[in-house]
Amino acid sequence: MSELTPLNCLAPGNAGIVRRLLFQGSERRRMLDLGLICDTIVKALRKSPSGDPVAYEIRRTVIALRSEEAAKILVECMSVGA
Amino acid sequence: MMRLRKQTGRIENIKSVFEVETGSPDDYVIALAGNPNTGKSTVFNSLAGLNQHTGNWPGKTVNYAQGKYVYEGIQHILVDLPGTYSLMANSADEEAARDFICLAGPHATVVVTDATCVERNLNMVLQVMEITDRVVVCVNLLDEAKRKNIKVDLAALSSLLGVPVVGTNAREGQGLNELKEAVYQVASGSKKNRPIRVVYDQEVENAIGLIEPLIKDRTGDEAPSRWLALRFLEGDNTAFLAYKNLVRDDCKEKSDDLATLSSESSSMLGKQMEIDDFRDRVVGSLVKLAEDIGGKTVYYKNEDYNRLDHKIDSVVTSKIWGIPIMLAMLGLVFWLTIQGANYPSEALAAGFFWIEERLTQLFVWAGWPDWLYGALVLGVYRTLAWVVSVMLPPMAIFFPLFTLLEDSGYLPRIAFNLDNFFKKACSHGKQALTMCMGFGCNAAGVVACRIIDSPRERLIATITNNFVPCNGRFPTLIALAMIFIAGTSGPCQSILASLSITGVIVLGVVITLSVSKVLSKTVLKGLPSSFTLELPPYRKPLVGRVLVRSIYDRTLFVLARAVVVAAPAGLIIWILANVQVRNTSILQLCAQALDPFAYYLGLDGYILLAFILGFPANEIVIPIIIMSYMATGSLIELESLSDLRNLLVYHGWTWLTGVCTMLFCLNHFPCGTTMLTIFKETRSKKWSLLAFLVPTVTGITICFLVAQTARLLGLV
């Protein structure tokens, strides 16, 4: 398995596959309910004007996540264009 | 009254807990569930029309709408549950939706889904199907899907899920009859669903197998025991408790064995896996099944289907254009509101004055006493007329414009653009939207706080909403800025006035953010908090629907509450101004009593009293000041700004009085309508009191500091 990157480090335009969630309890449940389970593909779409939050495409929906939360989602980067 | 699954103990309990108003025991109760942004409320509105009203969940701050329609001669009571992503009870909304489906046992539950992202919505559908068999899936927004070249195979979806699936385009009213028919068939039992069962992995199934019989033992066969077992294993026993207490109160004697059951399940689970891990597997299975079904039933003919959305987003949320476009949009809305409201306001005022003359004639003709005429016509009627003519036009313009932005999907982008500022203040980006709404009316702004799903941030937004000057306070601010900051003449007047108004707004925003931060670090520290912000696809707003909704839901709602507080206030003001004690009116006595304190704030007794008497509606603050200075017995308005300036200066106003009045106007207790709304929304005396105190104390502090500093420095 290649190295894992926190989601907030993913540059806009790139995608990653969710491998681990560092949340616990109810925060974790909220993330799961957004469809963020293991093996889900997440694509960073764009940053807001001040750089945070960042909009991600998760299961055909656009969800904005703050950097603190995105940092707790570990993804495996997909090669660009994949 | 609700008749449900023939359980005697249950009916009475449900009736008292869920305030479902049914006409006869034969009515069908239909729950409407679904994710946010699926057009659920459009489906609700299209089915129920104007036959609806909103209520609160008992003891909770979750609001739901109830409506009804008749189909096949049977009345269907429609209950619109809060839009949620899941039923796992992560928030008050989810708990409320879950409790209703599970405990109230509606005859049918319609799950509304968005045709452009069926797969994601299926998660919710599957969760509902775990609780009840009586499900109808409504695939809404088919027109959007068509536009994006997405095809949903409804028949295949129905056979895979084992429940009826109806495609609708609720905004145009398409598919509603089919939906009603499907609901009727499920509710009446003429169609038996065979819903697909979610199969979990072996370990989870083993755990369910051990716990489910124990649950069944305690709740009876009617209960969704498999679902209750799952929740129990997740460490969430609220569902089981609620079910047991509400539905099977006859088994209360067994209540002690909850502990047994709890420890049994946790010890058994503990051997194998952590609760978080367990939950991962449960949700994982749900999502994978949804993915699987979605893959077999939804066809994206054009993978680039949301290219237009992305294009728009790349402009309206871009680093360079995002904030300027937002400011331009909001500026346009405010400009249209302020400019556009002038004419109808004048026309309304003229109309009301005409009626007042007729009322006067009536009183003279009937020979009714003067005091009655004064109290009713000059007091109650004139205040009411004033409030309506000043409040109604701006709201009737502002709310539709705002709803238009809301419907198009642009508003969440504002929250996205500004979230970083709010994050630094420990609050939610959506607070930007409730603040915008507050510019129209703080009461509506407080209602808008419902869109914030995290309890702490919602309270912060509610308590601080008043720091945004509403339509009722703008005229006061503008008039005072013109007189005391810009001067009544000269070429720079309007520029200086605009700048000072902008300054006031910026100050309001700065105070909002600072107070938000203080609140979240102090009184609201312990409350749970979360951030999720969905950026839904853009949609073409339907102008007609927007008009109806914004006029009904917002304008008339706010106006009705304002009228309720303004009428008695008009009477009180008239009495104060007209009842004399030793040749001085009570109003003057009160003002004199307040004077020493008001002086410290850079105001005078009359100004402070006007703010207190202006509690029902901020619009009448300046008229009350004029009334008391001119010692007339009823509200009046002066013809021109320079008349007003002369009157104020004659009564000792300096620039400092002007500035302090503006500051106090921005920072003081919310008006009566807003207070009433805050109480209804929070259902808490404590938070309402806090919402009253926070701006008041802020205003007193700021005015005191400004006035004393100016005096110390000898500026006045």
What DSSP state is assigned to residue A48? -
Cβ contact B279–A29 (<8 Å): yes
Distance (Å, whole) CA B222 – CA B391: 53
d(CA B639, CA B624): 15
Interface contacts (A, B; CB < 8 Å): 109
Q: Which residues of B482-507 are buried (b: 16+ CB within 10 A; e: fewer)?
A: bbbbbeeeeeeeeebbeebbeebbeb
Q: How is residue B181 written in tokens?
A: 């028919």
What is the pLDDT averaged over residues A44-71? Answer: 92
Q: Would you list the DSSP string of B71-104?
A: ETTEEEEEEEPPP-S-SS-SSHHHHHHHHIIIII
Choose among A25, A50, A61: nearest Cβ to B117: A61
- Please tell me if residue A65 touches chain B, with a CB cutoff of 8 Å: yes
Residues 6 or more apart in contact with residue B259 via CB below 8 angstroms: none
Look at residue B185 in the predicted model and tell me its pLDDT. Answer: 95
Alpha-carbon gap, residue B409 to A79, rounded angstroms: 32
SS3 B580: strand
Residue of B531, B617, B530, B529 whose CA lies nearest to B568: B617
Closest chain B residue to A48 measured between Cα atoms?
B417
- Which of B13, B5, B78 lies closest to B40, judged by CA? B78
**Residue among A27, A39, A42, A62 with most chain B CBs within 10 A, to mutate:** A62
Contact call for B533 and A45, based on CB within 8 A: no
Closest approach of chain A CAs to the CA of B495, in angstroms? 29
ipTM above threshold 0.90: yes
In this prediction, residue B61 carries a pLDDT of: 47
Within 10 Å of residue B412's Cβ, how many Cβ atoms?
A: 20
The two beta strands, A54-58 and B63-71, are: unpaired
CB atoms within 10 A of CB A43: 16
CB contact under 8 A, B317 and A48: yes
Strand pairing category for A73-77 and A15-21: antiparallel
d(CA B680, CA B688) in angstroms, rounded, equals 9
Residue B682 in tokens:
């929070």
Mark the ranges of chain B whose per-residue pLDDT is less than 50.
Answer: 1-13, 15, 56-61, 252-253, 255-256
* Cβ contact B85–A66 (<8 Å): no
B429/A28 CB distance under 8 A: no
Judged by DSSP in three states, B19 sits in: coil
Q: What is the pTM of this model?
A: 0.84
* Of the candidates B258, B193, B202, B252, the residue with the CA atom closest to the CA atom of residue B232: B258
Q: Which of B287, B323, B532 sits opposite A37 (nearest CB)?
A: B287
For A12-33, write each residue's pLDDT tens digit: 999 999 999 998 877 888 888 8
Residue of A nearest to B119 (CA): A59
Cα B316 to Cα B309: distance, rounded to the nearest angstrom? 10
> Which B residues 502-531 touch A at CB under 8 Å?
528, 530-531
Please state, as a whole number, how many other Cβ atoms lie within 10 Å of the Cβ of residue B127.
27
Sign of CA dihedral A63, B543, B34, B240: positive
pLDDT score of A43 more than 70? yes
Contact at 8 Å (CB) between B148 and B305? yes
Model pLDDT for residues B223-275, shown as the tens digit of each residue: 788 888 888 888 777 777 777 665 555 554 454 455 666 666 666 665 556 77
Which of A27, A48, A60 lies nearest to residue B119, judging by beta carbons? Answer: A60
Amino acid sitting at position B650: Y
CA distance B233 to B212: 10
- Given B120, B420, B536, which is nearest A48 (Cβ)? B420
Chain A contacts of B532, Cβ < 8 Å?
Answer: 30, 34, 63
Query: What letter represents residue B44's amino acid?
Result: F
Nearest CA to B38 among B127, B138, B136? B138
Cβ distance B510 to A41 under 8 Å? no
Q: Could you tell me the two tokens for B383?
A: 């205040």
Using an 8 Å CB-CB cutoff, list chain A residues near B533.
Answer: 53, 63-64
The H or E element that residue B498 is part of is: helix B493-521
A 16-45 residues with CB < 8 A to B: 21, 24-30, 32-35, 37-38, 40, 45
Distance of CA B344 to the CA centre of its chain: 27
Cβ-contact B242, B103 below 8 angstroms: yes
Phi, psi values for residue A5, rounded to 5°: -120, 140
Q: Cβ contact (<8 Å) for B531 and A49? A: no
CB contact under 8 A, A28 and B279: yes
Residue to substitute from A8, A19, A23, A29, interface B, most B β-carbons within 10 A: A29
Question: B583 is written with which tokens?
Answer: 């040749």
Burial (CB count within 10 angstroms: exposed 0-12, middle 13-18, buried 19+), residue B410 = middle
- The answer to whether A53 contacts B90, with C-beta atoms less than 8 Å apart, is no
Closest residue to B90, CB basis, from A30, A61, A65:
A30
Q: Is the peptide bond before B58 cis (omega within 30 degrees of 0)?
A: no
Residue B271 has which token pair?
């051997």
The 10 Å Cβ neighbour count of residue B16 is: 10
* Among B550, B536, B319, CA closest to B408: B536
CB distance B416–A47 less than 8 Å?
no
Instruction: Report the DSSP beta bridge partners of residue A4.
Output: A76
Number of Cβ within a 10 Å radius of residue B709? 12
pLDDT at A41 over 90: yes
Alpha helices in B190-224 (DSSP H): 202-219
Say how many C-beta atoms besides its own lie within 10 A of residue B408's C-beta.
15
CA dihedral B71, B75, B76, B79 (to 10 degrees): 150
Helix/strand/coil for A1? coil
pLDDT digits (tens, 9 = 90+) for B440-468: 889 889 988 888 878 889 999 999 999 99
Nearest Cβ partner for B531 among A32, A49, A69? A69
Residue B111: predicted pLDDT: 96
Containing B116, the helix (H) or strand (E) segment is none
> Which of A20, A26, A27, A37 would best serve as a mutation to test chain B binding (most B beta carbons within 10 A)?
A37
Q: Which of B102, B103, B99, B51 is nearest to B77 (CA)?
A: B51
DSSP class of B253: G
Q: What is the pLDDT of residue B234?
A: 81
Tokens matching residue B375:
């109290």
B349 contact A CB<8A? no
- DSSP label at residue B555: I
Per the CB < 8 Å rule, is A55 touching B416? yes
The tokens of B373 are what? Answer: 């005429």
From the list A24, A28, A64, which residue is nearest B533 (CB)?
A64
Rounded CA separation B197/B129 (Å): 8
Are the C-beta atoms of residues B579 and B623 closer than 8 Å to each other?
no
d(CA B601, CA B664): 9
